[in-house]
Amino acid sequence: MNAKSQPRHAMKKPTAAASALVAIGLLSACGTGAAAPAATSAGKADAEVQALLPEELKKGGTIEIAVDSAYPPMDFMEGDKMVGIEPEIWSAAGELMGVTVKPTTVAFDAIVPALQSQRYQASFAGFWITEERTKAVDMVSFFQSGSQYLVRGDDSKAPINSFSDLCGRSVALQSGSYEMTYAEDAGKECTAAGKPAVEIQGYKTQDQATLAVTSGRADATGMGAEVAGYVAQQSKGKLKTAGNVFHTVEGGIALPKDGKLSAAFQAAFNKLISSGKYAEIFAKWGLDSAKITESKAHTS
């Protein structure tokens, strides 16, 4: 089985663009190699972090990253500018490294293969960290997540507190995600138990999957818990959380399995945590529940 590319409530007042993205789903991610926002300018480097960079980057340079620009509040577009937790985290980490971070929007299910082919040096796309995935790419944590489902605001069905609660429902999910895999496994268990199967609809981006629910084409959509509350809040009653968060997991960035940047990113994340900048960023987006106390590298 190939490693899945699962990407994955802001307290600040949502912009019109953000509300449109969530409630209406008008903004879709660009394809592989599509233009992305201007690269982040490098600032003053931290010597300890910079010492962990490969030689060619110790005096500055550019780190090219693959991103998912349609997954609020992790990252999404406001006009021609990408905003969210991940752009702020990669900008702050890049400053500590003394490098420029250049993002390119890539189709979500194409990110892991792009890393494996060394096309990009890292990816910020709300990844969950799993044993299967770390066999394909290196990963460094900077948040925690879990599964949570959304339904329409007028939905009266029973809560979705586990994957077994999906029996008999139609679910819209992002292609290439672990939510898709889990739903497929749940469908098999439903059928084996003599219950109605799970009807699964796959979409290229999460905002397209969300639109399938608000438009009545699907009963529910599943996503990372760090995103679900935000999406429900921004929908102004069109969507609501369907139940509790279940199976908590670490989340973070993915990198090629060459080990060149994992240590530097881990050190940068931990510097941001200890300095308070990390907490400031997560509080700005209303995601205190997604914070971690220490970044860890998964390079097995």
Q: 248 by DSSP, 3-state: which?
A: strand
User: How do the pLDDT tens digits run along the chain, 300 residues long?
Assistant: 444 444 442 222 233 333 333 333 322 233 333 444 545 555 589 999 999 999 999 999 999 999 988 888 999 999 999 999 999 999 999 999 999 999 999 998 899 999 999 999 999 999 999 999 999 999 999 999 989 999 999 999 999 999 999 999 999 999 988 899 999 999 999 999 999 999 999 999 899 999 999 999 999 999 988 888 888 988 999 999 999 888 889 999 999 998 799 999 999 999 999 999 999 999 898 788 789 999 999 987
Between the two ends of the chain, the Cα-to-Cα distance in Å is 17
Q: List the beta strands (DSSP E) in 60-198.
A: 62-67, 70-71, 75-78, 81-83, 100-105, 122-128, 138-152, 170-174
Q: Alpha carbon of 51 to those of 57, 59, 90, 98, 130: distances in Å?
A: 10, 10, 18, 11, 29
Instruction: Give the pLDDT of residue 233.
Output: 85
Question: Within a 13 Å sphere around the CA of 111, how many CA atoms are in the beta-carbon half?
Answer: 37
Q: 245 by DSSP, 3-state: which?
A: coil
Structure tokens at 65: 């990253």
What is the pTM (predicted TM-score) of this model? 0.74
Instruction: Give the pLDDT of residue 225.
Output: 86
Separation of alpha carbons 94 and 57, rounded Å: 11
Bond from prior residue into 113 cis (ω within 30 degrees of 0): no
Find the DSSP H helices in the chain. Answer: 16-19, 47-50, 85-97, 111-116, 131-134, 178-192, 206-214, 225-234, 262-275, 277-284
Pairing assessment for the beta strands 122-128 and 246-255 based on DSSP bridges: antiparallel
Contact 150, 231 (CB under 8 A): yes
Contact 108, 29 (CB under 8 A): yes
Q: Alpha carbon of 113 to those of 45, 106, 110, 206: distances in Å?
A: 31, 11, 6, 19
Instruction: Give the pLDDT of residue 230.
Output: 86
Question: Cα–chain-centroid distance for residue 168?
Answer: 27
Instruction: Give the domains, in start order, of the chain with CATH numbers.
Output: 16-145+250-290 (3.40.190.10), 146-247 (3.40.190.10)
